[in-house]
Amino acid sequence: MNSVNTAQPHTVPVKTLTDERGHLGIVEAMADAGFLFRRLYFLYGTTGEARGHHAHKALRQYMLAIHGAFTVTLKGRGQTFTFRLESPTQALIIPPGYWRELEDFTVDAVCLVAASAEYDEADYIRDYNEFLQWEQTHA
């Protein structure tokens, strides 16, 4: 098995039980994401506009396309990662300290995010140059 640097963004499989009634997806916070969830939020009805354009200083996120598909680009530590989330059987783990952009949503896309903390505007960096400066001292 390939080892995954868990400090980097990476995808993980979502445990899925399938029988004649359909699919049952299961997420256990510690076992599957590696952190506890304190907030859920979801995006839907996206209009074609990109979202994101910010980084989080401490927040951890577990993200999946419950329905439809979208692309997540993550920048940090001199690297750029691009993930196309297009199945509820695969989730993306986003560690703290990555600038993110979400785009190319299909019209039916539903993005579910489980986050490690409640909403806190002070945890956001919304200016890319400020993010690059913050990285110099924190990442």
**Known active-site residue 53:** no
Dihedral sign for Cα 33, 24, 119, 106, please.
positive
Q: Which of 54, 56, 67, 138 is catalytic?
A: 54
Of 51 and 57, the one with the shorter C-beta distance to ligand TYD is 51
The binding site for ligand TYD (CB under 6 A) comprises 39, 41, 51-52, 54, 119
Residue nearest to ligand TYD (CB): 51
Smallest gap from residue 11 Cβ to ligand TYD (A): 20
Cα→Cα distances 23→66, 91, 127, Å: 12, 16, 40
| Count of positions (residues) in the chain | 139
Residues noted as catalytic = 54
